[in-house]
Amino acid sequence: MSRAYYEDVVAPTVARRLPGLRYAAARLGSGSDVLGLDDETSQDHDFGLRLTLLTPDDQGGEVAAVLETDLPKDYRGWPTRFPTTWSPEGAVRVEVSSVADFLQFRLGVDATADLSVADWLALTGQAVLEVTAGPVFADTAGDLTAARTRLGWYPHDVWLHLLACDWAQLGEELPFIGRSGSRGDDLGSRVLAGRLVQVGMHLGFLLERCWPPYSKWFGIAFARLPRASAAAPAFRVALAADDWHEREMGLAEGLAVLGRLQGEIGLPAVEPVTVPFFDRPFQGLADISQALLSAVTDAEVRALPSGVGSAEQISGTTKLLVDGARRARVVRAAIKPSRR
């Protein structure tokens, strides 16, 4: 729908009123349609003819004014102007911005140039998907395409570090499932299992080199992963189990799937993935994290604190994860060497 709107309405308007304008046109941002996951329910709010138009810095105001005055009231039965939850006035829903400003707003970092290690850690999968998942209809300047290519995936050593962080988190708390369950704390054991399943799923996205979306679409996207999704049946067992032994076994089986996948894609792996936790009757994790960190050669990545990863690994707080500038500040504070 957005492509047809652009080709039939917006592009001819821009060509007629602003000939020679260099711009990128796409459907980007946070909508479920950007991820290809919109359905009939999506149409009950914030849904309609939307487009992202990225122009040079000094022409954004002129472009927005032309669109506001020249675009028709509707197209194919859909209004071109409608209220949204973040902007109640019935304005044209073509987001006009420069490439640099759009990337800074969505990502919290400058992706018009190479990213620093801290920049990579400040990203979330959802933020990157808001830039890279949606279709691009035109890019006469090429700046948006270059940025999307740059955001294809983490540098190799940053990737290894983030994988190690997920394994480290799993190793920290895996034995607690049995420990809390053995003390009669079934609810606490279940909470731990749910948290570790989420970490395991995040690990699956990393192993597949796929950016994970935010919580609403996390499970759907995980189920579509070609290989890591094979861990899903075991994770379901862990979440549904009424006994901590079965819960622990489900997690162990799911993590074993991911551990094998890690080896299959040529990264350092350890067999078996789970091992006895000292002399206690609980499952622990083999030192997979250290195996990954030992393969890191970049000095800046090697200097990062162990177990402190990306913004979405550090915190699951929604108010943090959707605010790019706040994410960047938190990550920089988290990875800054502590003073003793």
d(CA 147, CA 126): 16
Does the pTM exceed 0.85?
yes
Question: H-type helices in 112-243, by residue range?
Answer: 117-122, 125-132, 143-150, 156-182, 186-208, 215-223, 232-240
The tens digit of pLDDT for each residue in 4-44 reads 999 999 999 999 999 999 999 999 998 888 998 888 888 88
Residue 211 CA: distances (Å) to CA of 11, 120, 308: 31, 12, 19
In 3D space, the residue among 191, 166, 170 whose CA is nearest the CA of residue 312 turns out to be: 166
Q: Which of 92-106, 145-159, 233-247, 324-338 has the least mean pLDDT?
A: 324-338
Boundary residue ending a domain (105, 122, 150): 150
Same domain for 84 and 184, yes or no, is: no
Is residue 101 predicted with pLDDT exceeding 70?
A: yes
Q: How many CB atoms lie within 10 A of CB 168?
A: 22
d(CA 181, CA 4): 56
Q: What is the mean pLDDT of residues 55-74?
A: 93
Category of 163 on φ-ψ map: left (φ > 0), alpha (ψ -120 to 50) or beta: alpha
Contacts of 56 (CB under 8 A, 6+ apart): 22, 23, 98, 141
Residue 93 in contact with residue 81, Cβ under 8 Å? Answer: yes
Boundary residue ending a domain (106, 131, 150): 150
Q: What is the pLDDT of residue 117?
A: 97
Same domain for 6 and 141, yes or no, is: yes
Q: What is the mean pLDDT of residues 76-87?
A: 88
In a domain, 302, yes or no: no
Q: What is the mean pLDDT of residues 143-148?
A: 97
Q: How many CB atoms lie within 10 A of CB 45?
A: 11
Q: How many CB atoms lie within 10 A of CB 136?
A: 17
Q: What is the pLDDT of residue 58?
A: 85
Q: Higher-confidence residue: 339 or 29?
A: 29
In a domain, 303, yes or no: no
Same domain for 8 and 137, yes or no, is: yes
Q: What is the mean pLDDT of residues 148-157?
A: 98
Which regions of 107-200 does DSSP assign to beta strands (E)? 136-139
Q: What is the pLDDT of residue 340?
A: 46
Same domain for 93 and 220, yes or no, is: no
Boundary residue ending a domain (150, 183, 209): 150
Same domain for 105 and 223, yes or no, is: no
Write the DSSP symbol of residue 92: B
Same domain for 177 and 193, yes or no, is: yes
Percent of the chain with pLDDT over 90: 77
Residue 152 in contact with residue 178, Cβ under 8 Å? Answer: no
For every residue of 210-226, DSSP letters joined together read: -----HHHHHHHHHT-T
Same domain for 141 and 160, yes or no, is: no
In 3D space, the residue among 186, 218, 188, 214 whose CA is nearest the CA of residue 200 turns out to be: 218
Residue 65 in contact with residue 91, Cβ under 8 Å? Answer: no
Q: What is the pLDDT of residue 339?
A: 57
Q: What is the pLDDT of residue 203?
A: 98
d(CA 73, CA 84): 16
What does residue 267 show for φ and ψ, rounded to 5 degrees?
-100, 160
For every residue of 9-43, DSSP letters joined together read: IIHHHHHHHSTT---EEE--SS-TTTTT---GGGG
Percent of the chain with pLDDT over 70: 98
The CATH number that applies at residue 165 is 1.20.120
In a domain, 311, yes or no: no
In a domain, 130, yes or no: yes
d(CA 242, CA 302): 41
Contacts of 156 (CB under 8 A, 6+ apart): none
d(CA 29, CA 46): 12
3-state secondary structure of 275: strand
If you average pLDDT over every residue of the chain, what do you get? Answer: 93
The tens digit of pLDDT for each residue in 302-336 reads 999 888 899 999 886 667 778 888 888 888 888 88
d(CA 313, CA 308): 8
Q: In terms of residue numbers, what domain contains 244?
A: 156-297
Q: What is the pLDDT of residue 307?
A: 87
